Amino acid sequence: MCGIMGYAGSLNSQKIILTGLSRLEYRGYDSAGISYQENGSLQLVKKEGKLVNLENAISKIKIKSRIGIGHTRWATHGKVNDTNAHPHQNEEFSIVHNGIIENANQLREFLQTNGHKFKSETDSEVFLELLSYHYKQNQNIQSSIFKAYNEIEGNSAFVIMQKDSHKLYAIKRSAPIVCGLKQNEKEVFVSSDPYALMGQVDNLYFPEDGVLIVADYLSSKRLIFLEENETPSSRFKLQKKELNEEIISKGNFDHFMHKEIHEQPLLVSSLVEHFKKDYKDIPDDLFKGVRVVHLVSCGTALYAGMVIKNFIEARSDVKVLWDFASEFRYKNHRFSTEEVALFISQSGETADTLACQEICKEHGLKTYSIVNVEGSTLFRNCDYNFLSYAGTEIGVASTKAFTQQVLVGHFLTLLFLRQLDYEKVALDFKKLASAMNKILDEEDKIKQVAQKIYNYKGFIFTGRGIQFPIALEGALKLKEIAYVHAEGYAAGELKHGPIALIDENMVNIAIITPDLYKKTYSNAQEVKARKGKMVVIGDESNKELEELADYFIGLELTEDLKVFEPLVTNLVLQLLSYNIAKLKGTDIDKPRNLAKSVTVE
C-alpha cells in the first residue's frame, strides 16, 4: 500500500526521495508528498493524484536540503486531497505513516482537550500530535516516540523528522520498514520497501517490531537500533545483497506486467537450482506426523494455494483446509498436534496473513511460508520458509509470483511424500518452460481473441477440478486490470444460479482439459445453448472443442505436462486479460484503487 522514503546524507535529499517514491508507485497510491529541512525549519509540499503532480510542484522550488521524508498515500482515513496527503507536520515534527491507528478517535479527543489542533481527517496526524504532546512533557525525542508508539493500537510504521536535526527516526508494528547504508558514504536511507533502495545501498537492515531506528548520517555508526529503555538492540536482520536496478526497467515491453508474464519460462527453468542450493539441508522430520495443513492467504496467493491443495491431496492422505486470511483470523480455532499452517504471500507483509500466522503460533502450530521476499515479516516469523524466487514483481496484478508459488507447492508436495528427485523435477520444469515459451511465441492468436471480445458486458470463467482455481484467478486478473465484471466458477455450479446471467452479451471463458472432460464439455454446451459467447481453452487436437467454440485457443497438452496444466492455462488467461486491458486503455501496471501489498486490514 502506501510507500515511505526517507534520506539523510551529504547529497540533496529531494531527488533521492522522488526517485524512491517513483519506485514505490507500483504499490498503489492516490497522493504524494515530501517534507524537508531548510534553514532550521520544516518545509512541506504535497499533492493529490500522481507523483508527477508533486514533481511539477517541486520543480518550481529551489530545494537545498540534506534530510527529508516522502510518501505515496493510499487513503484509509479521510478523503483523497492535498490536506490529507502525507507527510503531516507541525512546527516541531514531520511524520509519514503506513497502516491504521485503530484508537485514533479516542486519542484525537484527548489531544483536542489538551489544546492540540488538527488540519487533516487522517489517523496519521494523531500520531504527530501525540508525539508532540509527549515531547512537550519531557523534551526527549526518543522517549517521546516510544510513549506515542505504545499508546496507539493497530499495525503501523512511522518515519519521523525533527526540525533542525540531522537524524531520522523510524519504528514499526507489523508493517514493513527497511533501512540501508552505502559503504563509505555519509548517507542513510529508510523505506517501506527494499526495492525503493535499489542501487542506493549495499546493506539492508530489517528491524523487528518495537525497535527504534535512529538514522544519523553524521555519526560514525550512521544506524543505531534501540530498545524501549534506549539500550542497543540486536533485534534486526542484516541482509548483504546487491539489488539489481535492471528490474525497474520495462525493457522492450509496454508494461511491467507484460514483461513479467514473459519472464516466467526462465524463472521456471532456474527454480530447481535454487532448491538444490538453499534446501539441501531440509530436516527429515520437517513434516513428520502432519495430517492436516491449514493453507491461509489472500487473493492470487490463495488461488495458488488451492492448486497446491490439489497437488497434496491427490497424492497423499494429508488433508488441506484453505481459507481467506481475512476470515481465518476471526474464527474459533481448535487445533491438534497433527496440524500445521502454510502461508503464501508475495510480499510477506500482508496484514491479514501476518495476523493469522501469529494466531497459529500462539496455538502452538508449526508455521511455514511460501514467500517471495527474504527478510520480510512473514519470513522472519515462520518456523520454516520456502522462497518463490519470482524476483521483483512491479505490476500490481500478480503473474509470475503465482506461477512460482504453485511450483514451490509442487516441491513441498514431493517433500511431504519423500519423493523428491531433483533430476526428474528439473526435467519436468524444463518441459513446462518449453510449453510456456510456445504460448508466448503465439501470443498474437490470443490477442486476436481479445480484440473480438473486449467490449462484451461481462465474463464468466469456468473450470473443474484443478482448473477451478485457474478460473478464479483468470477472473480476478481481468477484473483487476481491465475494470470489467468477471466471475470465476466451478463449471458444474453454473446451473445453481450463474447461468441466469448468460445471454448473447456474456462471454464464457471455458477451460476444458482432459480432467473431467465430459462433464466440463457438457457445462459449456449449456452456455452455448443460451447464446453465450464461447471462448474455449483446451487441447489443440480436439476438434469437438473447436466446433463448440466461437473462439478456440488450442494448447499442446501432453501427458507429461498433466500436473502442470493449470500453469499452462493460467498463462493463456494472463495474456488474454493483459490484451483486453490494453485494448481498453486502462492503467495496467497500477490499476485504480489497488495496492501491491495490502498492509492494512
The catalytic site residues sit at 2, 596
Report the Cα–Cα distance between both ends of the chain, in Å, rounded.
11
Maximum separation of any 2 CA atoms in the chain, in Å? 80
Burial letters for 189-216: b for 16+ Cβ neighbours within 10 Å, e otherwise?
bbbbbbbbbbebbeebbbbbbbbbbbbb
Question: What is the rounded distance in angstroms from the CA atom of residue 454 to the CA atom of residue 577?
Answer: 9
Residue 383 phi/psi, 5-degree rounding, is: -70, -35
Residue 118 phi/psi, 5-degree rounding, is: -115, 140
Question: What is the rounded distance in angstroms from the CA atom of residue 320 to the CA atom of residue 480?
Answer: 28
Question: What is the rounded distance in angstroms from the CA atom of residue 540 to the CA atom of residue 549?
Answer: 12
- The grid coordinates listed for 149 are 508508539
Of all helices (H) and strands (E), which one includes residue 328? Answer: helix 325-328
The amino acid occupying position 486 is A
Q: Single out the residue of 449, 481, 479 nearest to residue 585, CA to CA.
A: 481
Q: Where are the beta strands (DSSP E) in 349-501?
A: 366-371, 384-387, 458-463, 485-490
Provide CB contacts within 8 A for 511, sequence distance 6+: 461, 462, 463, 467, 470, 471, 474, 520, 537, 538, 569
**DSSP-assigned letters across all residues of 26-43:** GG--SEEEEEEEETTEEE
Count Cβ atoms below 10 Å from residue 63 Cβ, excluding itself.
16
Question: What is the rounded distance in angstroms from the CA atom of residue 98 to the CA atom of residue 259?
Answer: 29
- The grid coordinates listed for 295 are 493453507
Question: What is the rounded distance in angstroms from the CA atom of residue 560 to the CA atom of residue 569?
Answer: 15
Contact between 456 and 293 (Cβ < 8 Å) = no
Question: What is the rounded distance in angstroms from the CA atom of residue 23 to the CA atom of residue 494?
Answer: 43
Order across the sheet with 292-297: list the strands.
Answer: 319-324, 292-297, 339-345, 366-371, 384-387
Omega within 30 of 0 (cis) for the link into 87: yes
Question: What is the rounded distance in angstroms from the CA atom of residue 501 to the CA atom of residue 220?
Answer: 67
- The grid coordinates listed for 493 are 455450479
Distances (CA, A) of 548 to 492, 513, 534, 557, 569: 18, 14, 8, 18, 18
Q: Single out the residue of 185, 124, 116, 136 nearest to residue 160, CA to CA.
A: 124
How many residues in the chain?
601
The amino acid occupying position 186 is K
Question: What is the rounded distance in angstroms from the CA atom of residue 501 to the CA atom of residue 532?
Answer: 9
Count Cβ atoms below 10 Å from residue 11 Cβ, excluding itself.
14
